[in-house]
Amino acid sequence: MNENEKLEAELLLQAIYQKYGYDFRSYAKASIRRRIKKHQAVSGFASISAMQHELIHNEQFFTTLLKELTVNVTEMFRDPDYFFSFRNQVIPVLAEKDHIQIWHAGCASGEEVYSMAIMLEEEGLAGRYRIYATDTCSEALNVAREGIYPVAIMQEGSVNYQKAGGRRSLSEYYTAHYDHVVMADRLKANLVFSEHNLVTDAVFSEMDCVVCRNVLIYFSRVLQDRVFKLFYDALPGGGFLFLGSKEHVRFSNLADKFVKVCGNEKIFKKVG
Amino acid sequence: MKAVVIGTSHGGPKALQQLISALPVDFPVPVLIVLHRHPDGKARAENQLNLACVVTVKQAEEKETVEAGTVYFAPPGYHLLIEDDETLSLSVDEKVNYSRPSIDVLFESAADVYGENLVAILLTGANSDGAEGLRSVKEAGGITIVQKPEDAEAATMPKAALRLMKPDKVLSLSEITSCLSKFLLNHSVDFYECIKGVRS
Ligand SMILES: C[S@@+](CC[C@H](N)C(=O)[O-])C[C@H]1O[C@@H](n2cnc3c(N)ncnc32)[C@H](O)[C@@H]1O
C-alpha cells in the first residue's frame, strides 16, 4: 500500500465513523489496511476511494465490509492450556460463589463462549452462572446465538477439548445434522448475546470474570488503555481478567492494578 | 537498509541456524522472520537460536519497537506485521496460503513500511507462501533474494516465487549468509553493492 492508499484508507475509516458510528480509527493500522485492500480487491473497486463512495451510499455494502474489518475468526477451545488453567485454577475459586457473572467481550461467532460453558457444566456449576457475550459485529452474534457450526470444526475442537482436560466427549454437547452441529439448549440457557462496542460503549454490570481474548491485539495503545479501564471498572477486587496468549496488561497505565494468576497463561486478578 | 525479512517453512530451522548464527552482535538492522511450525505456542526455535547466536533472538511481542541486532520470530498461530512507527503487530486474521503466520502478510506489511530500504529473503519451504509477498517487496523497490531451489531442503517455496517474479538474486544459503555478514562487517557498504558482488 503506497502513501496515497494509506491516506485513502484513513479517509475510509473516517467515513465509516461519521456515517455508521463504528470507530476503527485507532485500530492497529497494518492489519486493517490489509483487510481494506482485500475487500477492495474482492469487490472489484479500482481504488479505496471508489469503495468509500459505495459504502457511504449503500448500507448493505457497509455490512459486508464490517464483517471483513472485525475479523470474526475464532475456534472451539482455542489455546487448550488456557482452558486447562481456567478449569483447575479459576473455577475452584468461582465455585465458592452462589452466582457467577462472566463478561465475554469480543466473542465473535461464539465458539469460545460455548467452550467455557461446557467447562463450567463439567465442574458442576450448571445453572449457577451467566455469560454475557458481546461483540460489535451483529452478524457474528447471530451465529453465536444460534450456536450452529460446520461439523468440520468439531474435529480440532475435540482434540483441544481433551487437551483442556475435558471429562466426557465433546459430542455430548451438540447434536449433529449432516454437515453441521447445533449446540445444546441447556448450554444456551446460561448465555446472553448482545451488541457492545468496546471503543464507544460503557460498562453495563459488575462481573466476576472478564474474558477478552485476541481483540486487544487489534487496538492501538491508547485504545487498549480505554478498554482496560472498562474492565477495571467492571471487576470487583479479586475479579479475574482473561486475555489472549499474546496480550498483556503490562504496558497499560493500569498495569499495577492487575496481578498474574498463573505461570504461562494470561490470567490476571484485579488487585484489592 | 533498514530491515531484513525472512520466510521459510520445511527445512527452515536448519537453514536459519546457519544464517542467524553468522550475524554479528552489532548487526545494524532488525530481522523479522516467519517460520511455519506447529501452533502449540512454544518458542523452541527462538530459544535454541538465542543460546547459539550472538544476536538476540526472540519471539515477537505485540507493540514492541524493533531494534537493530535483534531477530524477531512470528509466534506460532499469529500473523506478524510491522507498523509505520516500527512497532510490531500480531493478528489472528484468517490463514493466508493455509498458514498463520503467513510470509506474505509479513513481507507485504514490511514493504509498505520500508519500501526500498528492505531486504526480503525466501528460503527452503514446502508450500507457496511468500511468493506474493516477495513480489510486493520488489514492487516497493526493496531487494529480493530467493534461495536456489537445488540448494534448498524443500524446493517448492523458492520455485513458487521464481514462477511468480524475478528476484534480484537467486543464491545458495552460504552465499546469502556471507552476503549478510559482509554487509555487516562494513556498515557503510551498501547492501545492494554487496549482493551485486556475489555471482549467481
Ligand atoms: C479475532 S476475534 C476473537 C474471538 C475470540 N475471542 C477468540 O479469541 O477466539 C476478534 C473479535 O473482536 C471483535 N471486535 C473488534 N472490535 C471490537 C470492538 N470495538 N468492540 C467489541 N468487539 C470488537 C470482532 O468483531 C471479533 O469478533
Catalytic residue numbers of B, as ranges: 9, 36, 129
Residue A52 and residue A20: Cα distance in Å, rounded? 13
Based on the domain organization, do A116 and A154 belong to the same domain?
yes
Cβ–ligand 1 contact at A72 (below 6 Å): yes
Average pLDDT, chain B: 91
| Residues in chain B within 8 Å Cβ distance of A2 | 112, 140
| pLDDT of B126 over the 80 cut | yes
Put simply, the chain A residues between 204 and 243 with a CB less than 8 A from any chain B CB are 214, 217-218, 221
Based on the domain organization, do A27 and A88 belong to the same domain?
no
Residue-number span of the structural domain to which B63 is assigned: 3-195
| pLDDT of B41 over the 80 cut | no
Based on the domain organization, do A147 and A216 belong to the same domain?
yes
Q: Are A36 and A25 in contact (CB under 8 A)?
A: no
Task: Choose among A213, A212, A224, A214: nearest CA to A253.
Answer: A224
Average pLDDT, chain A: 95
Residue A75 lies in a domain: no
Mean pLDDT to the nearest integer, B5-16: 96
Please say which residue of A69, A88, A117 terminates a domain: A69
pLDDT band at B200 (very low <50, low <70, confident <90, very high): very low
Return the C-alpha cell found at A59.
448500507
Axis crossing angle, helix B173-185 with helix B12-21, rounded to the nearest 10: 30
Residue B200 lies in a domain: no
Residue with cell 536459519: B16
The alpha-carbon gap from B156 to the nearest alpha carbon of chain A, in Å, equals 26
Tens of pLDDT, residue by residue over B95-116, are 999 999 999 999 999 999 999 9
The number of C-alpha atoms within 13 Å of A81 and in the hemisphere containing its C-beta is 13
Q: What is the CATH number of the domain that holds A158?
A: 3.40.50.150
| pLDDT of B47 over the 70 cut | yes
Residue A226 lies in a domain: yes
The alpha-carbon gap from A117 to the nearest alpha carbon of chain B, in Å, equals 23
* % of chain A beyond a pLDDT of 90: 95
Kindly give the distance from the C-alpha atom of residue A134 to the centroid of ligand 1, in angstroms, as a whole number.
9
Residue B31 and residue B176: Cα distance in Å, rounded? 14
Q: Are B141 and B168 in contact (CB under 8 A)?
A: no
Verify whether the Cβ–Cβ distance A29 to B83 is below 8 Å. yes
Q: What is the pLDDT of residue B81?
A: 98
Residue B101 lies in a domain: yes
Tens of pLDDT, residue by residue over A138-189, are 999 999 999 999 999 999 999 999 999 999 999 999 999 989 999 999 999 9
Chain A residue with minimal CA distance to B75? A246
Largest CA distance in chain B: 42
Q: What is the pLDDT of residue B199?
A: 44
| pLDDT of B193 over the 90 cut | no
Residue A89 lies in a domain: yes
Residue B89 and residue A170: Cα distance in Å, rounded? 34
Tens of pLDDT, residue by residue over B71-92, are 999 999 999 999 999 999 999 9
Axis crossing angle, helix A29-43 with helix A59-70, rounded to the nearest 10: 140
Residue B191 and residue B181: Cα distance in Å, rounded? 10
For B88, phi then psi, to 5°, come to -95, 145
Based on the domain organization, do A162 and A195 belong to the same domain?
yes
Residue-number span of the structural domain to which A43 is assigned: 3-69
Residue A74 lies in a domain: no
Residue B188 lies in a domain: yes
Closest in A31, A71, A244 to B89, CB measured: A31
| pLDDT of A251 over the 90 cut | no
Our count of domains for chain B comes to 1
**Structure pTM?**
0.94
Please say which residue of A69, A97, A123 terminates a domain: A69
| pLDDT of A120 over the 60 cut | yes
Based on the domain organization, do A202 and A115 belong to the same domain?
yes
Our count of domains for chain A comes to 2
Q: What is the pLDDT of residue A205?
A: 94
Q: What is the pLDDT of residue A167?
A: 93
Based on the domain organization, do A161 and A105 belong to the same domain?
yes
Q: What is the pLDDT of residue A242?
A: 97
- Give bridge partners of residue A193 from the DSSP assignment: A133
Task: Give the Å distances, CA to CA, from B44 to A215, B15, B52, B59, B81.
Answer: 26, 15, 12, 10, 21
Residue A30 lies in a domain: yes
Based on the domain organization, do A100 and A50 belong to the same domain?
no
Mean pLDDT to the nearest integer, A110-114: 97
Residue A161 lies in a domain: yes
Q: What is the pLDDT of residue B189?
A: 44
Q: What is the pLDDT of residue B188?
A: 41
Tens of pLDDT, residue by residue over B130-140, are 999 999 999 99
Please say which residue of A50, A69, A88 terminates a domain: A69
pLDDT band at B183 (very low <50, low <70, confident <90, very high): low
| Residues in chain A within 8 Å Cβ distance of B112 | 1-2, 6, 30, 33
Q: Are A257 and A230 in contact (CB under 8 A)?
A: no
Verify whether the Cβ–Cβ distance B41 to A31 is below 8 Å. no
Task: Give the Å distances, CA to CA, from A262 to A116, A161, A265, A268, B143.
Answer: 18, 20, 6, 8, 44
Based on the domain organization, do A196 and A155 belong to the same domain?
yes
Closest in B41, B94, B109 to A30, CB measured: B109
Verify whether the Cβ–Cβ distance A246 to B61 is below 8 Å. yes
Residue B48 lies in a domain: yes
Verify whether the Cβ–Cβ distance A73 to B75 is below 8 Å. no
Residue with cell 470474570: A209
